[in-house]
């Protein structure tokens, strides 16, 4: 292991045998955390080639169970987002694409910090279970064309152990390490084709479009080496996606969107990403045709019915879906009003995400408890005109102590100017 650390420290390309020795030894408990930490820091400064990244992905993918979806007919698709504020696209996209006849086999994660997690949102629905055996997962995809569940302990254990170290050693934001983490999980889940939504902006891990494009190319390169089709969509995360930030609030907004009443930016992103998934699933010739098919599925109610089918199949209470007011609520609510008149020129997604966390909607640490009803409902977004004392946002929490801190962050998030700003572009680039 010392030789491997020295090689990487000196910028030497590692072999498959090097990676296999290191990952197998680490998972087995034979290589200590401090040596892997030294290796991660060497990677952070020296980087890895595309070939090294692909090898690391493959070795990590094989460190635990592999899900074989070959018994399911059709091209199985998956979608990944690098994380953002108000990003509830999976809740809309998965049933929408499944309703179009493309099998969606989706393993999702939990939220940490200012970014929300799909599993936490789904657990706002009474009775819904995100814990599924490998067999149940495959059976649901086979029967309903859809399953969304959590990662089990035997799936890519190497990534779990390595990510825990990256989190505490300042080595999270390295493109090779991010790419291998994302793709090892996606490939272990058995998907044939993947769309990756790479967020860029204040509320995202990627702060510049250049960084996002580098990540996109690395992920697509890994996919190509592993014989998988991957499309990367780079989307803006300067302001939150949609109007709702917080678990139950976002479930309600997802339901509204599936019924055709969602916010324009959220609806557009889901249709754009879904169009690509339909092309990958070979039920649409191009993305425009795919998008039109999805619009019809929303209008006809088929997408919403597929969502209900998924909820019922995983133990969720359908009364909650038909009556979203039954979703978790909070004891307290407080409004935040505009201090002056003008146009919203900025709405910092990171500040809104952090404010939502202070209210109880997110986790400060992995052991923090989630308040499913907590969060923020935005009333205005960039480009909107607002009068003095008009409500900009409503805060929800079961703990009044969080309101003061959240209000300071919301105050910093909103910038108001006399002139109307230019409309932000939501999708910045698509790379295939």
Structure token digits, residue 407: 């209000």
- Residue 37 appears among annotated catalytic residues: no
Q: Tell me the CA distances in angstroms from 341 to 258, 285, 377, one per residue in order.
A: 34, 48, 20
- Residue 80 appears among annotated catalytic residues: yes
For CA atoms 14, 16, 19, 25, the dihedral sign is negative
β-strands 342-347, 414-417 pairing: antiparallel
Among the listed residues 114, 166, 276, 358, the single catalytic one is 166
- Residue 379 appears among annotated catalytic residues: no
Among the listed residues 159, 197, 256, 351, the single catalytic one is 159
Q: Measure the CA–CA gap between 235 and 195, rounded to whole angstroms.
A: 12
Structure token digits, residue 100: 């179009």
Structure token digits, residue 271: 């249709």
Closest CA to 348 of 426, 240, 267: 240
- Residue 181 appears among annotated catalytic residues: yes
Q: Measure the CA–CA gap between 348 and 274, rounded to whole angstroms.
A: 27
DSSP string, 238-297: SS-SSSEESHHHHHHHHHHHHTT-S-HHHHHHHHHHHHHHHHHTTS-SSHHHHHHHHHHH
Q: Tell me the CA distances in angstroms from 370 to 123, 148, 265, 328, one per residue in order.
A: 10, 20, 26, 12
- Residue 166 appears among annotated catalytic residues: yes
Q: Measure the CA–CA gap between 379 and 385, rounded to whole angstroms.
A: 11
Among the listed residues 8, 76, 121, 185, the single catalytic one is 185
Among the listed residues 80, 106, 161, 186, the single catalytic one is 80
Positions marked catalytic: 80, 159, 166, 181, 185
């Amino acid at each position: 292991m010392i030789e491997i650390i020295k090689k990487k420290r000196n910028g030497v390309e590692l072999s498959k045998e090097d990676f296999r020795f290191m990952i197998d030894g680490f998972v087995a408990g034979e290589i200590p955390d401090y040596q892997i930490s030294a290796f991660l820091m060497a990677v952070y400064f020296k980087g890895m080639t595309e070939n090294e990244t692909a090898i690391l992905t493959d070795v990590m993918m094989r460190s635990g169970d592999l899900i074989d979806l070959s018994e399911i007919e059709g091209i199985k698709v998956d979608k990944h987002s690098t994380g953002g504020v108000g990003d509830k696209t999976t809740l809309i996209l998965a049933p929408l694409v499944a309703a179009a006849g493309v099998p969606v086999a989706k393993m999702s994660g939990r939220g940490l910090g200012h970014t929300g997690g799909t599993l936490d949102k789904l657990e706002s629905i009474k009775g819904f279970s995100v814990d599924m055996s490998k067999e149940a997962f495959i059976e649901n995809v086979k029967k309903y064309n859809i399953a969304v569940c959590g990662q089990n302990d035997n799936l890519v254990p190497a990534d779990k152990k390595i990510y825990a170290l990256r989190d505490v050693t300042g080595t999270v934001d390295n493109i090779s390490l991010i790419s291998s983490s994302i793709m090892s999980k996606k490939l272990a889940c058995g998907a044939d084709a993947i769309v990756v939504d790479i967020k860029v902006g204040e509320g995202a891990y990627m702060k510049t479009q250049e960084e996002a494009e580098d990540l996109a190319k690395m992920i697509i390169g890994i996919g190509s080496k592993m014989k998988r089709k991957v499309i990367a969509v780079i989307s803006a995360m300067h302001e939150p996606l949609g109007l709702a930030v917080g678990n139950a609030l976002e479930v309600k907004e997802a339901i509204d969107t599936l019924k055709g009443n969602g916010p324009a930016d959220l609806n557009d992103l889901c249709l754009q990403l879904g169009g690509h998934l339909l092309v990958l699933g070979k039920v649409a010739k191009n993305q425009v045709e795919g998008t039109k098919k999805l619009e019809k599925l929303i209008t006809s109610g088929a997408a919403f019915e597929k969502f209900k089918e998924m909820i019922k199949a995983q133990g969720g209470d359908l009364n909650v879906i038909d009556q979203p007011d039954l979703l978790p609520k909070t004891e307290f609510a407080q409004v935040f009003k505009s201090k002056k008149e003008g146009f919203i020129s900025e709405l910092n997604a990171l500040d809104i995400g952090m404010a939502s966390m202070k209210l109880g909607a997110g986790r400060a640490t992995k052991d923090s408890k989630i308040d499913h009803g907590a969060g923020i409902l935005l009333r205005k977004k960039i480009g909107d005109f607002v009068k003095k004392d008009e409500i900009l946002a409503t805060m929800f929490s079961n703990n009044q102590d969080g309101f003061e801190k959240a209000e300071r962050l919301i105050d910093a998030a909103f910038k108001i100017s006399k002139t109307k700003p230019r409309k932000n572009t939501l999708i910045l680039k698509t790379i295939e």
